[in-house]
Amino acid sequence: MRKSTQSLMALLAGAAMALSACADGGSQPAAALDPNAEPQYTGTLSILTKFGGDPLEPYFEDLAAEYKKLHPEVSFELIQETDQSIKDKTKTLTASQAMPDIYFTWAGSWANNFIDGGLAADLTPVIAPGTEWGNNFGESALKAFAKDGKYFAVPLYNNGKFMGYNQRIFKELGLTPPSTFDELISSCSVLKGAGYEPISFGNKDGWPGLHYLQQLFAYEVPAETLQSDFSPATAKLEDKGYLKAMDQFTTLVNECTGSGKDSNGVLYTTAQQALAEGKSGMYYQEILEFDSTASADSKLKQDGLGIFKLPAAADANGDPQAIEGSPEGYIINARSKNAALAADFMKFATNSQNAAKLSAPPYGQPSAVKGAVSTENSSGPVIEGIKQVNEASAAITWLDSVTVPAVADAWLAGGEALVAGTQTPDQVLASVRAASSAAK
Amino acid sequence: MVTRSAVLLVLGRVLVKAFLIALAVVVIYPLVWMLLNGVKSNSELFSNPFALPVAWKWDNYVTAWNRGVGDYLTTSVLVTVASTIATVFISAWAAYGLTRVNIPFNRVVLILILGGLMLAPTVALIPLVKMFQSLGLYNNLWALLILYTAFRVPFTTFLIRAYMMDLPAEVDEAASVDGASKARAFWQVILPMCKPILVSTVLLNILFTWNEYLFAMVFTSWGALQTLPVGLTNLMSKHGTDYPVVFAGMAIAAIPVIVLFFAGQRYFIRGLADGVGK
Amino acid sequence: MTVSDTAWKPAAPPPASVSPKSPKNRAAKSARTRRWRNIVWVLPAVLLLGVFAYLPLVQNLGFSFLKWDIYSGRQTFVGADNYVRMFNDPIFWKSLLNNTLYAIISIAFQVFGAMILAAMIEGLRSQRWRGILRAVYFVPSAISLTVAGLLFYFIYEPEMGILNAALDFLGLGNFTQAWLGQENTAIFAIIAMSQWQGFGYCTLLFSVALQRIPSELYEAASIDGVGPFQRFFSISLPLVREMTGLMMIVTVSGAFQVFNEVMVMTSGGPNNSSQVLGTWLYRSGFVRNDFGYAAAVATAVFIITLILAAIQLRISKKRRVQW
């Protein structure tokens, strides 16, 4: 009986598979980009960016327009997505095998998927440290997208996560940037007493919570353990530091945020707005957000935006000098017919003039090109942020791009549960462990 | 002399009417709120949600339009018109074939077409992504056109077929006596007679296509190629803090179909009633 | 991009009848040929459905036995693995439960609630009020679920939303919360929005059904001194039973295909508490890169809709409505 069911199922599956025509080439390592190939300045370049929306959207539009002035035969197709929408969109495009010539990537597992899938052109001959183009970049930025000694992406800008604070409010209340986690929590009660929302926090999309968690994990979990836990093959996820970090996170949500357990219903943009309007004292943000939070016409711009690294607990067991954040870059599609042209465009995008433009307001994206972030063109917080990123002992990639999607998704759900107080750190860790072992 | 039951009856009538009107207010208020928020400033939005706008900022609507809502609207109109025409014609042919023409495997064809009524679009999603990739129809309005038509044909055929079955057979006989071919009988006699149900199906298909989200989200991505529902969620994520503009965009998306509904109310009602079986 | 209308004209109009000059012994054959040519009438519909609805259905079954890596395009046969995981996946069951809740609440409000409402409306004496109320109630159904979802996202929003503000105003400040941000309220908040959006549609349908009841029945009843409640239960209710049965099926199968509003309002969060089968399918495939698993969930959706369709068919058969 059982056997017949099985064979029936196999038959069904076989028939269905035959119909679904699963003859696929499979992945081969992508061929290296020929450094001597002359780009043909014709055709259309399609680009998937993460610069959708205000104020970033014009950056690639301007780049494209200027490049077109130099090479009128080239046209562009820009797909500009946002931080939130680019994740699903990238998956859809990948599954449809419709990835454009140039596309955005985070470092970590996110980039490795494209590299392993043969979707990322090997840029080693043109961008490795020591090459003419490669020498323009900080070496660590290039290495963020390297695998087995090969280089696969053009790092566009660096990034790091900082607590941004309103300098006027801090000064009024006699507060200084806290140096330990406990100090942070006690400054929250001062702010609350003065009628401000201490930290504005909007976790509707889940990842803002993940950013807190990953930074705290870096502080509380020994670096080696943390790294090996990112990969399901080696993950154990048993370190006590995870539980301690999650406890710290819930303390922060309950003691410091105005929305508390309700934060899962608030958009991160609403939280950002609260700092910009001087309603909240702090908002945890990426360097990328500095210039748009403290935009020219905002109250925060007048009050002054200060930043500090999320303080670690005094007895942290991990690496209290590590900072969360990693360069973000652009991959050239290995299957692109215009690879040489795409590389030429990316060289243009990262020339010193465009790098400086990127690093200045209103964009405020600290270019990975050496010397682009300078007092002449970048805002104070951006310069300070980059300085601290460079001084940090290690850069820890975002939790949602460093590990495999199923594990990242389990952390995301767990983070939301911690915010709402519906699960204990133990339960969250157990569910992540389950997701990780299923993803082996 | 007034009996007690008569008083109760009047009281009951008043209560029922009051309840119905109160419900109408509750139902309609969110929409009014949406329209009003579209002309407020951001800080007004947060200060008192019930307040009327201080200065009516109509330029929010202009801003929304320029931030892509204009393009999304054009795309939506295009897709809606094209797929509605395609759906109604293909369904009318099929309905004619099923009711008035001698076709082989009539019953199989009938089951095949009407069986499509129970297919959920989500079930086909994953394979369709792969199929459209190999057809090269990704991020192409043809993809939406084909899918909307394919998934609406069963229901539309169902409605038109039911209507055609009620048309007397003498109509065809008269036409064939005149020596008209089946094709001419269809175009010149039957189709005009089906006008009421055709209008209803057109309206129902507009309602569906205008609002479809899943396929539009998965199969289009380049800015101007997006339909309104997808474009609106993008507007929200791209200009998240500029909420009045988002509200204005929502209003622009909602108004055309509401207007269409009031204009064609009679047909809508008949279409809806037929839609759930006669 | 422009779409030319001509592309949508029929591939070829059905051929005119074959010339009658052919010899008699070939007449039978030509009649058969003619019959086959008639297939042209249904061909566009059959082809469209066959290729874009039925073929994917079969392919989906195939995918559900695979592990599909979208990056490399590599597909590996994993047998029933995806199904085993699905049956052990608490979020799958949570999604199924949420769909079921959706169905039950929708039956209460959109079927029975709408029926009572329709009876109330049709009981009004003023023709004008009847028309106005029906129309007003229907308006939310004319706006898309995306707009409705976004709108209610803002209504539920803790900072600017009117729901919490209204509760505060009514002195019910204790009940204010982030409706979409709490695990125990998120799915109900979404379902509530859906009732707002859909009940007018159903009310309209019941109104139409009630109007079709011959007025003599009511007149006879009122002569007999029957009150409005009795009238509803003894005349209206039995006569709209058919409509009620159908509406229940339509509502329930709609409830198992929910996607749009959940996607817009919560994406299934927080902590997957408002996940439904449609969004869990999407998330499994397009967020978690697990397309084979997504196909298995799709198969589950298919089986559920198939069962509902079978029930619908039984009901229709009872009513002697031919398919």
- For domain A161-324+398-438, the CATH superfamily is Periplasmic binding protein-like II (3.40.190.10)
Report d(CA B221, CA B138) in Å as an integer.
9
Q: pLDDT tens-digit profile of C37-91?
A: 788 888 999 999 999 999 999 999 999 999 988 888 888 999 999 999 999 999 9
Cis peptide before A366 (omega within 30 of 0): no
| Cα separation values, C258 from A59, A273, B122, C76, C277, Å | 38, 33, 10, 30, 8
What is the Cα–Cα distance from C323 to A137, expressed in whole angstroms?
69
The reply to whether domains A43-159+326-372 and A161-324+398-438 share a CATH topology is yes
A167-174's contacts with Cβ under 8 Å and 24+ in sequence apart are A167/A303, A167/A304, A167/A305, A167/A306, A168/A278, A168/A302, A168/A303, A168/A304, A169/A194, A169/A196, A169/A278, A169/A281, A169/A303, A170/A281, A170/A306
Would an 8 Å CB–CB cutoff place B18 in contact with chain C? no
Nearest to B269 among C40, C208, C321 (CB): C208
Asked if A173 reaches chain B (Cβ–Cβ under 8 Å), the answer is no
Q: Tens digits of per-residue pLDDT, C92-102?
A: 999 999 999 99
CA distance C240 to A437: 54
Chain-centroid distance, C-alpha A357: 21
Contact status, residue C309 vs residue C253, Cβ threshold 8 Å: yes
Which residue in the set C58, C266, C286 is minimally distant from A19, CB to CB?
A: C58
Cβ neighbours of B242 in A, within 8 Å: 54
Q: How is chain B split into domains, by residue range?
A: 4-37, 64-275
**Degrees, nearest 5: CA angle C46-C51-C54:** 85
Of residues A408, A250, B58, A149, the one with CA closest to residue C288: A408
Structure tokens at C166: 């209204």
Report the gap between the CA of B131 and the closest CA in chain A (Å): 8
Q: Which contacts qualify for C87-95: CB closer than 8 Å, 24 or more apart?
A: C91/C272, C91/C275, C91/C280, C92/C277, C92/C280, C92/C297, C92/C300, C94/C272, C94/C273, C94/C275, C95/C275, C95/C276, C95/C277, C95/C279, C95/C280
Q: Chains contacting C with at least 3 CB pairs below 8 Å?
A: A, B
Q: How far apart are CA A119 and CA A48, in angstroms?
A: 14
For C19-40, write each residue's pLDDT tens digit.
444 455 566 667 777 778 788 8
What pLDDT shows up at residue C172?
Answer: 83
Nearest to C137 among B27, B86, B128 (CB): B27
Alpha carbons B26 and B36: distance in angstroms, whole number: 16
Question: Which residues does A101 contact at the CB level (< 8 Å), separation at least 6?
Answer: A45, A46, A47, A332, A333, A336, A338, A339, A341, A342
Q: How many degrees, rounded to 5, is the angle at CA B258 between CA B255 and CA B263?
A: 120
For chain A, positions 383-412, list CB contacts with chain C under 8 A: 404-406, 409
Residues of B in contact with A97 (CB under 8 A): 133
Q: Given its phi and psi angles, is residue C21 left (phi above 0), alpha (psi -120 to 50 degrees) or beta?
A: alpha
DSSP bridge partners of A162:
A285
Q: Which two tokens stand for residue A319?
A: 């690496």
In this prediction, residue A220 carries a pLDDT of: 96
Give C272's contacts in chain A (Cβ within 8 Å).
413
Return the structure tokens found at B137: 């129809």
Closest Cα of chain A to B33: distance in Å?
Answer: 20
Shortest alpha-carbon distance between residue B181 and chain C (Å) = 6
Q: Are B154 and B201 in contact (CB under 8 A)?
A: no
Which residues in chain B touch residue A93, judged by CB atoms under 8 angstroms apart?
A: 138, 221
- What's the rounded Cα separation, in Å, for the pair A306 and A272? 14
pLDDT at B273: 65
Residues in chain C within 8 Å Cβ distance of A26: 72-74
Tokens of A308: 């500090």
Mutant choice from B221, B239, B246 vs A, greatest count of A C-beta within 10 A: B221
- C234-292 residue pLDDT tens: 777 777 777 787 788 788 888 998 999 999 999 998 999 999 999 999 999 988 888 99
Strand pairing partners for A166?
A305
Rg of chain A over Cα atoms, rounded to whole angstroms, equals 23
Residue listed under structure tokens 């994206």: A365
- Find out whether A219 and A313 touch, Cβ atoms under 8 Å: yes
Min distance A265 CA to chain C CA atoms (Å): 4
Cis peptide preceding C238, ω within 30 of 0: no
Residue C231 has pLDDT above 80, yes or no: no
Q: Is A7 exposed, middle or buried (0-12, 13-18, 19+ CB in 10 A)?
A: exposed
Q: Which pLDDT score is estimated for A73?
A: 93
In this prediction, residue A29 carries a pLDDT of: 54
Predicted-complex ipTM score: 0.88
Testing the interface with C: which of B11, B105, B122 to mutate, by most C Cβ within 10 A? Answer: B122
Residues 6+ apart with CB under 8 A from B140: B219, B220, B225
Decide the pairing of beta strands A102-105 and A305-308.
unpaired
Residue A250 has a pLDDT of: 96
Domain ranges (residues) in chain A: 43-159+326-372, 161-324+398-438
Non-local (6+) Cβ contacts of A202 within 8 A are: A208, A259, A263, A266, A267, A268, A269, A270, A271, A272
| CB-based contact C48 B276, cutoff 8 Å | no
Rounded-to-integer distance, Cα A105 and Cα A394, Å:
20
pLDDT < 50 regions, chain B = 277-278
Q: Are C292 and C63 in contact (CB under 8 A)?
A: yes
Q: Does B109 touch chain C (CB under 8 A)?
A: yes
Residue partners of A150: CB distance under 8 A and separation at least 6: A32, A122, A124
Distance (Å) from the alpha carbon of C186 to chain B's nearest alpha carbon: 19
Tokens of A370: 């050496």
Integer Cα distance of C148 and B233 in angstroms: 12
Q: What average pLDDT is seen over chain C?
A: 83
pLDDT at A223 (0 to 100): 93
Domains defined along chain C, listed by start: 85-318 (1.10.3720.10)
Under DSSP, the state recorded for C68 is E
Asked if residue A185 lies in contact with residue A252, where contact means CB atoms within 8 angstroms, the answer is yes
Name which of B109, B162, B90, B157 is nearest C35 in CA terms.
B109
Q: Which of A9, A116, A262 to mutate to test the interface with C (most CBs of C within 10 A)?
A: A262
Smallest Cα–Cα separation from A406: which of C87, B128, B217, C85? C85
CATH topology of domain B64-275: MetI-like fold (1.10.3720)
Going from the C-alpha of B34 to that of each of A244, A404, B48, B246, B254, the distances in angstroms are 44, 40, 14, 10, 10
CA distance A307 to C210: 67
Which of these CATH numbers, 3.90.550.10, 1.20.1250.20, 3.40.190.10, 3.40.50.300, describes A43-159+326-372?
3.40.190.10
Cut 0.90: pTM above it: no
DSSP state of B150: H
The whole-number pLDDT of residue A142 equals 92
- B177 Cβ contact list (under 8 Å, min separation 6): none
> 3-class SS at C213?
coil
Contact A98 B139 (CB under 8 A): yes
Residue of C nearest to A406 (CA): C288
* pLDDT under 70: residue ranges of chain A: 1-31, 35-36
